[in-house]
Structure 1
Amino acid sequence: MERPRLQRHPDGITAVDTEYMHSGLAAAHVIAHAGRAAFVDTGTTHSVPRLLAALEELGIARDAVDYVILTHVHLDHAGGAGRLMQALPRARAVIHPRGAPHMIDPTKLIAGSMAVYGEARYRELYGELVPIPADRVVTTHDGQRLSLAGREFEFLHTPGHALHHHSIVDLAHRSIFTGDTFGLSYREFDTESGAFIVPTTTPTQFDPEQLVASIDRMLGYQPQALYLTHYSRVTDAPRLAESLKLQIRQFVTIARSHRDDANRHAAISADMRALWLELLRRHGCTLPDERIDELLGTDLELNTQGLIAWLDRERRS
């Protein structure tokens, strides 16, 4: 197979492009320390050969991997975990307690994904989900610490994007692996002003108040770097956090303003796209609108669906 795309960061952290949908969209991270290693997120089953090739390129033996840590169990983050675990004889999967049952028995995850995508597209995107044996799963509680050869990590339960989401604080290096809670930041949007970031409000568990609280909680650790699944390392956390919170408030305003529209999906999507284009131009992005739509189109659709699901829950409450 082709050589994996790796991006080496400080403190023994390497981003591996999982090639989900296209390059530069989703990263798994390898943490290497004192001869031991851990993965944070895995991509899909199709990503596993790239992850194993990354270990080889980094000179890490498969039996030196102690943990496969999943920020949450959405399939672009966790779909490959079972298959990867089969190749890592000493690894344990570290999962939020709400997500662990779905990785031990992925029947509901598979059925729900097939209902959204159809079987053919589901197979194309995610392949075959392999269950993780229950005796190889470790569930976390909020504030729990875990050691990788003496390197301490703290697990924060960070809802808002998903109820089964935790983020991982690398305490000695003031870094946080944020999954999707701290949004999406594609490197194509980097300018002289730094990284550009957007929230992810995908269905079905988006909650704006919880998401803002989770962002503030992570910010309280004064992180020097954040490692996002989409896509890898960003700094300048206070600025990015303020942008995320501003957009979340704007999303809520947009969604509520179209609550009763005949075609609320189209209206919410159009307003969100207009907001992103405005923010990107202010940020100094010179990409044409068509390229921006290519990069953010899937997120625009998923965010719109998530806002509608949230609106419907709000109406029922």
Structure 2
Amino acid sequence: MTPPVRPVRVAPATYLLDAHLFGTPGALSAYVLDAERPVLVDAGTADSVDRFAEALDRLAIAPADVAAVLVTHVHLDHAGGAGALADHCENATVYVHERGVGYLTDPERLARLRESVDAATGRTDPYGVPQPIPEDRVVAVSGGETLDCGDHTLEFVDAPGHAPHHYAVFDETTDALFAIDSAGQFFEERLYPTTPPPSFDLDANVETCERLRALEPSLNLYGHFGPGGDDAVGELERYADLLTEWVEAVETLAGVHGDVTAIVEALDGRWQSPTVERDVAGVLAARDAGST
């Protein structure tokens, strides 16, 4: 049985929600900003919407009071629940990167996105069945916009690399940065690369880290998983270096080994994240496309 939702405070008025990806605790995090105009950061999977509803209830936030759902990128572990959350939070505006809006509003493009996920994972709808978001509920952002939440001001920051349709969110009131997947994965006090196919771009991701570092955040909030350490600026710098080293390691091994499984087996332990096979595949896809 899935354990009850217990939102965890990670910054002023900011709560972590464990979305229990594939029933696994500590795998996928989203966030609730309990501002005067409350905000959800990321929408989780289509199967995790009930956990969001329970989190809002535990925080005594009425669904009708939620002002915004911020979909940081359209990968379905982060965006699959957006349509259902728009129904549940009937007054919320859904903010999506301009490069990703069509994937979540156009039923045909959403269906193709589901098919690509099925092909990549070998499973049917591993993140549940997402529903399209009505176009009149969506605002497209490209970076540089701000969102007034009453007692908090959020800035949207273009953050490609992990995906071209990724943005980060900087809370100008607390200096917390919702980096999500644009700045890596953080498990057990360690950074790991997150470089999925089909659109990982090393140069863009390194530039994103530089752009985020310039904000001088006090805390990085990751999608996998939770808050980072005390040196948020240093984490961003280390991640840029880590990405470069990671890509070099994979490409070197690819010259010796013929497939993803063999490359993964040859990697040393520090690279062995929960998504290592997918991330090797992303580096190889970027190499073949000429973007590493």
Same fold (TM over 0.5): yes
Describe the superposition over 1:165-196 as per-residue Cα deviations: whole angstroms up to 9, x where unpaired. Answer: 0001101211111120111012xx2xxxxx21
| 1:240 Cα deviation after fit | 1.8
Match of 1:310 in 2: 286
Identity %, equivalent residues: 30
Question: Which among 251, 260, 276 is matched to residue 265 of structure 1?
Answer: 260
Describe the superposition over 1:140-183 as per-residue Cα deviations: whole angstroms up to 9, x where unpaired. Answer: 12211111125211111111100000001101211111120111
The code of the aligned residue for 2:130 comes to L
Q: Is the 8 A contact 1:203 1:307 kept in 2?
A: yes
Q: How does 1:148-163 map to 2 (within 5 A)?
A: 148-163=149-164
Q: Is the 8 A contact 2:71 2:79 kept in 1?
A: yes
Output the CA distance in 2 between the equivalents of 1:2 and 1:265: 35
Question: Which among 7, 22, 25 is matched to residue 23 of structure 1?
Answer: 25
Question: Which among 205, 219, 242 is matched to residue 237 of structure 2?
Answer: 242
SS at match of 1:9: strand
- 1:47 maps onto 2:23 in alignment: no
Q: Is the 8 A contact 1:258 1:264 kept in 2?
A: no
Match of 1:285 in 2: none
Q: How does 1:1-317 map to 2 (within 5 A)?
A: 2-21=3-22, 22-34=24-36, 36-105=37-106, 106-118=110-122, 121-123=123-125, 125-186=126-187, 189=188, 195-234=189-228, 235-261=230-256, 263-272=258-267, 274=268, 276=270, 296=273, 298-314=274-290
| 1:222 Cα deviation after fit | 0.7
The code of the aligned residue for 1:151 comes to H
Gaps of 5+ in 2: none
| 1:264 Cα deviation after fit | 4.2
Q: Is the 8 A contact 1:255 1:311 kept in 2?
A: no
Output the CA distance in 1 between the equivalents of 2:252 and 2:43: 38
Output the CA distance in 2 between the equivalents of 1:167 and 1:241: 13
Describe the superposition over 1:252-285 as per-residue Cα deviations: whole angstroms up to 9, x where unpaired. Answer: 222332344451424532344x0516xxxxxxxx
Q: Is the 8 A contact 2:217 2:233 kept in 1?
A: no
| 1:112 Cα deviation after fit | 1.2
**What is the root-mean-square deviation in Å for CA atoms of aligned residues?**
1.9
TM-score, normalization by structure 1: 0.85
Output the CA distance in 1 between the equivalents of 2:151 and 2:56: 21
| 1:245 Cα deviation after fit | 2.1
The code of the aligned residue for 2:263 comes to I
SS at match of 2:119: helix
Q: Which has the higher helix share?
A: 1
TM-score, normalization by structure 2: 0.92
The code of the aligned residue for 1:100 comes to V
Q: Is the 8 A contact 2:11 2:176 kept in 1?
A: no
Output the CA distance in 1 between the equivalents of 2:25 and 2:259: 32
Output the CA distance in 1 between the equivalents of 2:214 and 2:129: 39
Please identify the structure whose Cα radius of gyration is greater. 1
Give the count of matched residue pairs: 286
Q: Is the 8 A contact 1:18 1:50 kept in 2?
A: yes
Gaps of 5+ in 1: 190-194, 278-292
SS at match of 1:178: strand
Q: Which moved more, 1:59-68 or 1:237-246?
A: 237-246
| 1:115 Cα deviation after fit | 2.1
